[in-house]
Amino acid sequence: MEGTLAQTDAKDSLEEINSAITRLKKDDETLTELNISNSIYFLQAEEKPRLAKQLELAEALSKNTHLLTLLLVHNNLDDEFAVAISQALAVNKSITVLNLESNNITGVGTIALANMLTANSTLRELRLNNQKFLISTEGEEALMHALEVNETLVL
């Protein structure tokens, strides 16, 4: 249905996350909002399989044209994921809201996100509050520069 907001809540299992990634890869036009916050899988899985799945999710975003909102709050997302999602969002032209609050992103990931913001003109809202680690001075400066250049983010 055109104009209908489809929301997938993939919090609980790897199977649900895989299903959401498959829908992203297929560019499912009904998937416009995806909430994978507080994922039991992302919070409890061992590092290598968790990171592999997070990177697969980031890669699936690069060619998706229908997802508008992506919520990834409190999922042990780190700098490697931040770099991967930054690369995907540098070319993605649909996502307008990205929430990465309460993860493990440091200055390295913040710089990657800031660099993405200089190329992305679609994103309207980026949430990075409450990271486990402090963002470096370089990360803060990169974000400040990105906000000067990017005219689409709502502050």
Whether 42 is covered by a domain: the verdict is yes
Q: Can you give the pLDDT at residue 135?
A: 87
pTM of structure: 0.91
For the chain, strand residue ranges (E) read: 7-9, 33-35, 69-71, 97-99, 125-127
φ, ψ for residue 140, nearest 5 deg: -65, -40
Q: Can you give the pLDDT at residue 10?
A: 58
Q: Is the pLDDT of residue 89 over 60?
A: yes
Q: What is the mean pLDDT of residues 130-150?
A: 92
Provide the percentage of residues in the chain whose pLDDT is more than 70.
92
Whether 103 is covered by a domain: the verdict is yes
Q: What is the mean pLDDT of residues 134-149?
A: 92
Whether 2 is covered by a domain: the verdict is no
Whether 78 is covered by a domain: the verdict is yes
Whether 20 is covered by a domain: the verdict is no
CATH code assigned at 130: 3.80.10.10
In this structure, the number of other CB atoms found within 10 A of the CB of residue 149 comes to 10
Q: Can you give the pLDDT at residue 5?
A: 45
CA dist., res. 74 & res. 57, Å (int): 15
Whether 10 is covered by a domain: the verdict is no
Q: Can you give the pLDDT at residue 66?
A: 98
Q: How confident is the model at residue 3 (pLDDT cuts 50, 70, 90)?
A: very low
Domain that holds residue 103: 32-149
Rg of the chain over CA atoms, in angstroms?
15
Whether 24 is covered by a domain: the verdict is no
Task: Say how many domains are in the chain.
Answer: 1
Q: Is the pLDDT of residue 1 over 50?
A: no
Whether 12 is covered by a domain: the verdict is no
Q: Which amino acid is at 148?
A: E
Q: What is the mean pLDDT of the chain?
A: 91
CA nearest neighbour of 59 among 83, 79, 31 = 83
